[in-house]
Amino acid sequence: MPNFQPNPEIIRSQKQDLFEGPDFYQIDDLLTEEHVLIRNTVRDWVKKEVSPIIEDCCQRNIFPNHIIKGMADVGAFGPQLSVEYGCGGLDYISYGLIMQEIERGDSGMRSTASVQGSLVMYPIHKFGSEAQKHKYLPKLAKGELMGCFGLTEPDHGSNPGGMVTNFKDAGDHVILNGAKMWISNSPFADIAVVWAKDEKGVVHGLIVERGMEGFTTPETHNKWSLRASATGELVFDNVKVPKENILPNVTGLKGPLTCLNSARYGISWGAIGAAMDCYDSARRYAKERHQFGRPIGGFQLQQKKLAEMLTEITKAQLVCWRLGNLMDQGKATPAQISLAKRNNVDMALHIAREARQIHGGMGITGEYPIMRHMMNLESVITYEGTHDIHLLILGMEITGENAFM
């Protein structure tokens, strides 16, 4: 992947990032000093390294690979995993706050961090052998190796259990065939955690490395969303994968779905970040922009939008704080995570649309972050389980009835 070269014209048009996070219910008082320090460190890093370039990257559909090291340095890759393997050893609130701040910068940047931490490092950490953990985790934590997660297939998105990617035993290795689609980070990833069926139809996780013969990662083009995130396919044409690359400690669909719990939790926080950025920009604009001889923030209709945004952000912050505590206690259920992911992403998308209106015509330009967040969130509401799939998970929790099929 070529190195990112900034476009001076777009960079010049960017305003200084003056973001201030709303904390209407003094939720900071519920955080530890360490949480606040971590949050502020990542916030400062985003202001310095992400905000100045992100509009340029999105306009030109480029993943800024030069920021991987900085992302690793602020602890964004596997912060909640153990220090024994070079990871952060932090709690789930810290992990959530990191995701919130990175997505405040851009959902595509948070995608890269989510995939690396929750979908690549997490399965190796939870289901891998000691040899696999020592081989991959320290390098993944430092961003020296990047990974991707292959679950979705062209014909199996919401229903991953129908996957057709499969492998056959061939002595000391297996032969992998099939294809995965819509894979974040695939065009540049060094390794892929791939979910595939064995000859009995049982799902396993395999670590496939770039360079294995028959393994290719074509990039997906023409996205209107997550334009600063690289998305692609994973194609396996008789790929010889050593048996030592199979994750030994899980079989069945619960393997990938367990990883999704961690990633969906991170998205719940991330969506708050995107919403806060839209709200903060709209609040400033409403004070600065004058029509009919006064700031538009003085009109009741604009105040209603801002008041409702702050209300929804505050509710979402409380949901995440409580969910983070349940995660730390090992008590969070998949349905609780679904509620948070579904609610918070929908909330953020609604706020982005309202904020876009407050900015009037300026809201469609790259001078403000709104349209970029809005378009990004159209992916976020679809990946990691669609808005409707999470509703069905909740529906099943409430009624005991499975409405998926």
Q: Quote the least distance from Cβ 172 to ligand FAD, whole Å.
A: 28
Six token digits for residue 45 = 């890093």
* 41, 158, 166, 325: which one binds ligand TGC (CB under 6 A): 158
* 184, 245, 262, 344: which one binds ligand TGC (CB under 6 A): 184
Bridge partners (DSSP) of residue 235 are 179, 216
- In the list ligand TGC, ligand FAD, none, the entry touching 388 (Cβ below 5 to 8 angstroms by class) is ligand FAD
The verdict on 115 binding ligand FAD (CB under 6 A) reads yes
* 63, 122, 136, 182: which one binds ligand FAD (CB under 6 A): 182
- In the list ligand TGC, ligand FAD, none, the entry touching 55 (Cβ below 5 to 8 angstroms by class) is none
Of residues 241 through 260, those in contact with ligand TGC by CB under 6 A are 252-254, 257-258, 260
x/- mask, ligand FAD, residues 141-180, rule CB under 6 A, reads: -------xxxxx----xx----------------------
Q: Output 119 or 313, the one with its CB closest to ligand TGC.
A: 119
Q: Residues with Cβ < 8 Å from 42, sequence gap 6 or more? A: 74, 75, 76, 97, 98, 101, 102
125, 155, 385: which is closest to 267 by C-alpha?
A: 385
Q: Is beta strand 173-184 parallel, antiparallel or unpaired with respect to 147-150?
A: unpaired
Residue of 153, 219, 384, 397 with catalytic role: 384
Of residues 367 through 396, those in contact with ligand TGC by CB under 6 A are 383-385, 389, 393
- In the list ligand TGC, ligand FAD, none, the entry touching 183 (Cβ below 5 to 8 angstroms by class) is ligand FAD
CB 238 within 8 A of CB 198: no
- In the list ligand FAD, ligand TGC, none, the entry touching 150 (Cβ below 5 to 8 angstroms by class) is ligand FAD
| 384 classed as catalytic | yes
Instruction: Kindly indicate which of the ranges 2-10, 11-19, 156-164, 347-355 contains the residues binding ligand TGC, using the contact rule CB under 6 A.
Output: 156-164
The CB-based long-range contact list for 279-282 (8 Å cut-off, 24+ gap) reads: 279/22, 279/306, 279/309, 279/310, 279/313, 279/351, 279/355, 280/19, 280/20, 280/21, 280/22, 281/355, 281/359, 281/368, 281/369, 281/370, 282/306, 282/309, 282/354, 282/355, 282/358, 282/359, 282/370
Total residues contacting ligand TGC by CB under 6 A comes to 25
DSSP labels, 13-31: HPPP-------TT-GGGGS
The count of other CB atoms within 10 Å of the CB of residue 387 is: 15
Q: To which H or E segment does residue 381 belong?
A: none
Task: Using alpha carbons, list the distances in angstroms from residue 193 to 4, 145, 150, 204.
Answer: 26, 13, 6, 10
Q: Name the site residues for ligand FAD (rule: CB under 6 A).
A: 115, 148-152, 157-158, 182-184, 226, 231, 379, 382-384, 386, 388-389, 392, 404
Q: Name the site residues for ligand TGC (rule: CB under 6 A).
A: 111, 114-115, 149, 151-152, 158, 160-161, 184, 252-254, 257-258, 260-261, 263, 334, 383-385, 389, 393, 404
